[in-house]
């Protein structure tokens, strides 16, 4: 199955291009079929191609030196993937992994820039999308900055303890990793260990190796500001 005009017309990046131009551009695109769990590109790969999700779901996963993996984004139908790295000509900052069977439209860098020169509207759309992403990142950072670290940690613990819409007490995890939790909350491991030790001494939680227990969720609810 080839890439057709109507597939590109549904993508905001190309929506202002005339039909005959889209039809020509479609001839330079190709379809990629990924099975669930397959890797589209690896973190650190060179970036010569952008992708648009035709169907399915792609996860962007970043791996750190200690082996921990963090899900950065979930991409769905018509989302553009890899354009930032491709435009900047920098290595991929994360791996792209199919969460389920996924079909993508691929367009190589040299063709993309060739059409940018002919149709400035593509450049405008690309800038709009990049600006939107940067704005969302800025809002997220502001939200994190406006909430203190204990509140973020308490919220994360409560989310981990939630089951069927209710916060359960007792054993929450048998695989509690300080480094992973610290990264999720945006704090140093030393701060996390000190804070958890304090809450353990106060009887809110319990930690035994990698076993994590929640004794008193009401206090964490107050700290998180959920009341």
CATH number, domain of 82, equals 2.60.120.10
Same domain, residue pair 35 and 139: yes
Shared domain for 93 and 15, answered yes or no, is yes
Q: Is the pLDDT of residue 51 over 70?
A: yes
Domain that holds residue 127: 5-145
How many CB atoms within 10 Å of residue 61?
16
Is residue 197 within 8 A of residue 191, CB to CB? The reply is no
Contact between residue 224 and residue 158 where contact means Cβ atoms under 8 Å apart? yes
Of the pLDDT bands very low, low, confident and very high (cuts 50, 70, 90), residue 127 is low
**Distances in whole angstroms, Cα of residue 74 to Cα of each of 55, 60, 61, 70, 180:** 13, 6, 9, 12, 19
* pLDDT value, residue 118: 77
Chosen domain end from 145, 164, 199: 145
Least confidently predicted of 33-42, 75-84, 193-202, 203-212 = 75-84
- pTM comes to 0.58
Q: Which range has highest mean pLDDT (8-17, 33-42, 66-75)? A: 33-42
How many domains in the chain? 2
Cα dist. 163→108, 158, 166, 167, 172 in Å? 45, 10, 5, 6, 10
Q: Are residues 79 and 117 in the same domain?
A: yes
28 and 100 co-located in one domain: yes
* Average of per-residue pLDDT values in the chain: 82
In the predicted structure, residue 192 carries a pLDDT above the cut 70: yes
Give every CB contact of residue 60 below 8 A, 6+ residues apart in sequence. 71, 72, 73, 74, 75, 81, 94, 95, 96, 97
Residues 116 and 163 in one domain: no
Residue 146 pLDDT: 47
Report the half-sphere exposure of 75 (CA within 13 A, side-chain side): 25
* Predicted pLDDT at 100: 92
pLDDT(123) > 70: no
The verdict on 81 and 96 lying in the same domain is yes
**15 & 101 share domain:** yes
Picking from 145, 177, 192, the residue at the C-terminal end of a domain is: 145
27 and 96 fall within a common domain: yes
Provide the CATH number for the domain around residue 170.
Answer: 1.10.10.10
> What is the rounded (10 degree) CA torsion for 113, 118, 122, 127?
70
Q: Higher pLDDT residue, 187 or 43? A: 43
**What average pLDDT does the segment 96-115 reach?**
90
Examine the domain organization and report whether 125 and 55 are in the same domain.
yes
**Whether residue 48 has pLDDT greater than 70:** yes
Angle at 144 between CA 148 and CA 216, to 5 degrees: 45
Q: What tokens does 223 get?
A: 């700290």
| Region class of 82: left (phi > 0), else alpha (psi between -120 and 50), else beta | left
- pLDDT value for 214: 93
Counting residues of the chain whose pLDDT is more than 70, the rounded percentage is: 85
Worst-scoring range by mean pLDDT, 66-80, 178-192, 197-211?
Answer: 66-80
The two beta strands, 102-108 and 49-55, are antiparallel
The more confidently predicted of residues 186 and 44 is 44
Would the pLDDT of 97 be above 80? yes
The mean pLDDT value for 100-115 works out to: 89
Question: pLDDT tens digits, residue range 10-37?
Answer: 887 777 777 888 888 888 999 999 999 9
Q: Which of 145, 164, 193 is the last residue of a domain?
A: 145
DSSP-derived 3-state class of residue 21: helix
CB 94 within 8 A of CB 141: no
For the segment 191-217, the average pLDDT, to the nearest whole number, is 91
Question: What CA–CA distance (Å, rounded) separates 4 from 187?
Answer: 48
| Per-residue 3-state assignment (H helix, E strand, C coil) for 151-181 | HHHHHHHHHHHEECCEECCEEEECCCCHHHH
Q: Are residues 90 and 54 in the same domain?
A: yes
- Specify whether the CB–CB gap between 93 and 57 falls below 8 A: no
Lowest mean pLDDT among 27-41, 51-65, 156-170, 185-199: 156-170
59 in the same domain as 136? yes
Are both 35 and 114 inside the same structural domain? Answer: yes
């Amino acid at each position: 199955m080839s890439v057709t005009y109507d597939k590109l017309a549904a993508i905001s990046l190309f929506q202002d291009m005339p039909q005959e131009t889209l039809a020509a551009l479609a001839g330079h695109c190709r379809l990629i079929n990924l099975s669930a769990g397959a890797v589209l590109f690896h973190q650190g790969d060179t970036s010569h191609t952008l992708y648009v999700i035709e169907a399915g779901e792609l996860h962007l996963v970043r791996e750190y030196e200690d082996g921990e993996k963090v899900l950065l984004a979930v991409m769905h139908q018509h989302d553009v993937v890899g354009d930032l790295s491709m435009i900047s000509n920098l290595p991929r900052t994360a791996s792209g992994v199919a969460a389920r069977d996924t079909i993508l439209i691929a367009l190589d860098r040299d063709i993309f820039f060739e059409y940018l020169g002919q149709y400035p509207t593509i450049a405008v759309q690309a800038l709009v999308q990049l600006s939107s992403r940067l704005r969302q990142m800025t809002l997220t950072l502001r939200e994190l900055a406006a909430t203190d670290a204990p509140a973020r940690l308490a919220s994360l613990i409560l989310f981990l303890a939630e089951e069927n819409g209710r916060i359960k007490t007792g054993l929450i995890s048998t695989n509690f990793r300080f480094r992973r939790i610290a990264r999720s909350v945006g704090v140093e491991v030393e701060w996390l260990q000190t804070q958890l030790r304090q809450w353990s001494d106060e009887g809110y939680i319990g930690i035994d190796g990698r076993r994590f227990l929640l004794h008193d969720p009401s206090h964490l609810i107050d700290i998180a500001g959920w009341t």
